[in-house]
C-alpha cells in the first residue's frame, strides 16, 4: 500500500500486520511522521512532536517483534496524547502561556498505560487554554483547523486529537471530556469518539478529584480501534479513588459480533431532548441514522425525556471551577487569558458558595431523572452536535434560527452525560450540504460501556464511515 493508505489503515489491522511481520513499526512510524510534517503546518493539530523519540521507540518495537517477545495490545502503534496530560520529556502546555516552555518530568496515567501496552507517543495534540471551550485555539499560536474545511473549527477541547485522526496523522488519539470534549470534535471532524463511564479510565494527575466530571477516552477511525485502545487504558488505579474498582470487559471481543447484543432492546430517539435547537439537516440525518436501529431488531421510540434543561446548573459549575483553579493566574496576567475564559472566571467569581452547592444538588436531581428515564430504555440516541463545524474564528451566528448561541447552547447533547457519568459515543452518520460531518450520539445506562460500543459497531457495519477521508 502507499503511504497515504497506510496512514488511514485502522490500528487493529496495523497491529495484526506487525505481529505477522508484514509491516514494521518503523515503516508505519515513518509514514505517520512524514504526514504530520506535511500537514501539521496547515492543521496545527500538534503542539509538540517527538520524531526522534518516536522513531527510536519504533526501532525498539521492531526488534521486540523479531526476537519473538510478548507484545502489548498497542505494540508499535502511533498514539497521540492531548496536551492536558503530561508526557515525560515532552512539552506540556495545557494550552496556556503560563506553560509555553514547560517540559513534563513525569507521565500521566494515560501515558503510562499507552507505553506499558507498547504504544509509541508521537506528540501532544492541540487544546484550548485548560480545555475550557468547544473550539481549539489558544494564545500559543495559530488555531487548530478542521481537515474537512480548513476555515472551520475541528471542535474542542480535544480538537487536535480529532483533527489528527481525521487527517491520517495517526490511528489512535487520546482525549478528555469534561462537557463533551471528546464527542464534540469527533462529531465535527468525522471520527469515532467514546466517552467511557466516569472512572472507567482513571484520571491522574487531577487537581480536582471530587468534582467528578472529566472522562478520558479514545478518538479513532473505527469502533474496533477504540476498543483496542480501551483495552490498554481501562481499569482501576488507587491514585484515582473514583475509578471503577473492577476489571473492564473484553471490549475487543464484544465489538467483533455486535448484533446479537442489540436484539430486542428498547431504544429511545430524541431529536432535541425537549429544549435544544438543532439545524434541520442535522435533525434529518441523525433521525435517519436512529431509525437504522430498527434493522437491528430494536424497538425505536421517539421520546421527550421529560427532564429539565440542565444548562444553567452545568454552566455555573463550569465557571466556578475555572475561577477557583485559575483565579490567581488570571490576576497575575489577565492579558494571557482569552476573552472566553476571562468571562468564565468573572462569572464564577460572582457566584456564592450557596450558588455552587446548589449546582451539586441540582446535578443530583438531574442524575436521578436520567436514571428513571433509563429504567425504561436501554439506549438513548440524539444528535451529537446541533450544527456542522463553524468558523475557526468565532461561534455560529445562529442554530435553527436561535441567534448568537453561546457554548452551552451548542453543547445541549454532550454535557448532560458528564453530569450523570454515563457512557456515550459519537458515530459519524453523514454530511451537511457544505460537506461537513454530522454525528449521532449513543448513550447507555450506568456502566453500560460494552453495550454502547456494540451499538456503535452495529451502526458502523450498517453505515461505514472510515473509508471517507478529507482532502487535505
The tens digit of pLDDT for each residue in 28-59 reads: 999 999 999 999 999 999 999 999 999 999 99
Does residue 181 have an active-site annotation? yes
Residue whose grid cell is 477516552: 217
Q: Longest C-alpha distance within the chain, in Å?
A: 62
CA angle, residues 307, 312, 314, in degrees to nearest 5: 85
Span 195-203, mean pLDDT?
98
- Structure confidence at residue 1 as a pLDDT band (50, 70, 90): confident
**C-beta separation of 83 from 138 below 8 A:** no
Residues counted in the chain: 472
- Structure confidence at residue 133 as a pLDDT band (50, 70, 90): very high
Does residue 391 have an active-site annotation? no
What is the per-residue pLDDT across 293-345, written as a single tens digit (0 to 9) for each? Answer: 999 999 999 999 999 999 999 999 999 999 999 999 999 999 999 999 999 99
Query: pLDDT at residue 273 above 90?
Result: yes
Q: Interhelix angle for 11-19 vs 25-43, to 10°?
A: 150
Query: pLDDT at residue 384 above 90?
Result: yes
Label the pairing between strands 192-195 and 215-220: antiparallel
Alpha carbon distance 449, 195 (integer Å): 9
Selected catalytic residue, list 24, 80, 96, 181: 181
SS3 of the chain: the string is: CCHHHHHCCCHHHHHHHHHCCCCCHHHHHHHHHHHHHHHHHHHCCEEEECHHHHHHHHHHHHHHHHHCCCCCCCCCCEEEEECCCCCCCCECCCCCHHHCCCECCCCCHHHHHHHHCCCEEEEEECCCHHHCCCCCCECCECCCCECCECCECCCCCCHHHHHHHHCCCCCEEEEEECCCCCHHHHHHHCCEEEECCCCCCCCCCCCCHHHCCCEEEEEECCHHHHHHHHHHHCCCCCCCCCCCCCCCCCHHHHHHCCHHHHCCCEEEECCCCCCCCCCHHHHHHHHHHHHHHHHHCCEEEECCCCCCCCHHHHHHHHHHHHHHHHHHHHHHCHHHCCHHHHHHHHHHHHCCHHHHHHHHHHHHHHHHHHHHHHCCCCEEEEECCCCCCCECCCCCCEECCEECCCHHHHCCCCCHHHHHCCCEEEEEEEECCCCCEEEEEEEECCCCHHHHHHHHHHHHHHCCCCCCCCCC
CA-CA-CA-CA torsion for 36, 177, 129, 353, nearest 10 degrees? -170
Does residue 352 have an active-site annotation? no
- State the cell numbers at 168: 491520517
pLDDT at 64: 98
Alpha carbon distance 358, 354 (integer Å): 6
CA-CA-CA-CA torsion for 246, 248, 249, 255, nearest 10 degrees? 160
Span 347-355, mean pLDDT?
98
Span 95-102, mean pLDDT?
98
pTM of the model: 0.98
How many alpha carbons lie under 13 Å from residue 164 in its C-beta half-sphere?
A: 37
Span 187-197, mean pLDDT?
99
What is the per-residue pLDDT across 425-439, written as a single tens digit (0 to 9) for each? Answer: 999 999 999 999 999
pLDDT > 70 fraction of the chain, expressed in percent and rounded: 100
Span 99-116, mean pLDDT?
98
> Picking from 18-27, 206-215, 367-376, 448-457, which range would have the lowest pLDDT averaged per residue?
206-215
Average predicted confidence (pLDDT) for the chain: 98
Alpha carbon distance 121, 87 (integer Å): 9
pLDDT at 150: 98
Selected catalytic residue, list 82, 133, 149, 195: 82
**C-beta separation of 8 from 50 below 8 A:** no
Span 153-181, mean pLDDT?
98
Selected catalytic residue, list 24, 80, 157, 158: 157
Those residues whose C-beta lies under 8 Å from the C-beta of residue 6, and which sit 6 or more positions away, are: 23, 27, 28, 31
Alpha carbon distance 235, 196 (integer Å): 11
**C-beta separation of 377 from 266 below 8 A:** yes
3-313+343-462, CATH topology level: Amidase signature (AS) enzymes (3.90.1300)
Amino acid at each position: 500500500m502507499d503511504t497515504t493508505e497506510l496512514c488511514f489503515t485502522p490500528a487493529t489491522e496495523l497491529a495484526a500486520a506487525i505481529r505477522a511481520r508484514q509491516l514494521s513499526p518503523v515503516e508505519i512510524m515513518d509514514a505517520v511522521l512524514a504526514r504530520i510534517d506535511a500537514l501539521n503546518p496547515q492543521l496545527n493539530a500538534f503542539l509538540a512532536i517527538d520524531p526522534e523519540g518516536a522513531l527510536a521507540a519504533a526501532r525498539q518495537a521492531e526488534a521486540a517483534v523479531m526476537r519473538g517477545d510478548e507484545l502489548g495490545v498497542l505494540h508499535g502503534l502511533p498514539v497521540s496524547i492531548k496536551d492536558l496530560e503530561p508526557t515525560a520529556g515532552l512539552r506540556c502546555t495545557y494550552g496556556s502561556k503560563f506553560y509555553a516552555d514547560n517540559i513534563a518530568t513525569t507521565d500521566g496515567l494515560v501515558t503510562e498505560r499507552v507505553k506499558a501496552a507498547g504504544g509509541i507517543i508521537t506528540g501532544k495534540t492541540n487544546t484550548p487554554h485548560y480545555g475550557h471551550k468547544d473550539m481549539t485555539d489558544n494564545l500559543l499560536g495559530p488555531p487548530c483547523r478542521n481537515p474537512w474545511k480548513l476555515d472551520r473549527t475541528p471542535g474542542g477541547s480535544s480538537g487536535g486529537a480529532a483533527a489528527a485522526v481525521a487527517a491520517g496523522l495517526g490511528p489512535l488519539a487520546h482525549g478528555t471530556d469534561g462537557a463533551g470534549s471528546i464527542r464534540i470534535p469527533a462529531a465535527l471532524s468525522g471520527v469515532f469518539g467514546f466517552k467511557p463511564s466516569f472512572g472507567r479510565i482513571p484520571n491522574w494527575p487531577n487537581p480536582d478529584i471530587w468534582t467528578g466530571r472529566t472522562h478520558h477516552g479514545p478518538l479513532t477511525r473505527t469502533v474496533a480501534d477504540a476498543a483496542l485502545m480501551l483495552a490498554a487504558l481501562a481499569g482501576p488505579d488507587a491514585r484515582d479513588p473514583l475509578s471503577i474498582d473492577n476489571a473492564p470487559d473484553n471490549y475487543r471481543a464484544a465489538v467483533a459480533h455486535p448484533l446479537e447484543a442489540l436484539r430486542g432492546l428498547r431504544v429511545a430517539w430524541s431529536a432535541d431532548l425537549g429544549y435544544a435547537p438543532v439545524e434541520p439537516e442535522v435533525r434529518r440525518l441523525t433521525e435517519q441514522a436512529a431509525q437504522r436501529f430498527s434493522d437491528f431488531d430494536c424497538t425505536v421510540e421517539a421520546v421527550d425525556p421529560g427532564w429539565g434543561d440542565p444548562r444553567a446548573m452545568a454552566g455555573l459549575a463550569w465557571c466556578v471551577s475555572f475561577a477557583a483553579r485559575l483565579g490567581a493566574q488570571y490576576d497575575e496576567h489577565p492579558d494571557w487569558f482569552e476573552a472566553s475564559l476571562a468571562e468564565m472566571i468573572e462569572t464564577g467569581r460572582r457566584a456564592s458558595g450557596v450558588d455552587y452547592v446548589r449546582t451539586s444538588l441540582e446535578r443530583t436531581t438531574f442524575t436521578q431523572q436520567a436514571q428513571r428515564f433509563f429504567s425504561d430504555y436501554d439506549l438513548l440516541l440524539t444528535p451529537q452536535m446541533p450544527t456542522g463545524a463553524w468558523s475557526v474564528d468565532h461561534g455560529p451566528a445562529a442554530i435553527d434560527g436561535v441567534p448568537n448561541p453561546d457554548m452551552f447552547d451548542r453543547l445541549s447533547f454532550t454535557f448532560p452525560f458528564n453530569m450523570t457519568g454515563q457512557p456515550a459515543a459519537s458515530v459519524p452518520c453523514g454530511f451537511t450540504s457544505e460537506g461537513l460531518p454530522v454525528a449521532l450520539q449513543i448513550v447507555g445506562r450506568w456502566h453500560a460501556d460494552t453495550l454502547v460500543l456494540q451499538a456503535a459497531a452495529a451502526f458502523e457495519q450498517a453505515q461505514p464511515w472510515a473509508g471517507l477521508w478529507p482532502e487535505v
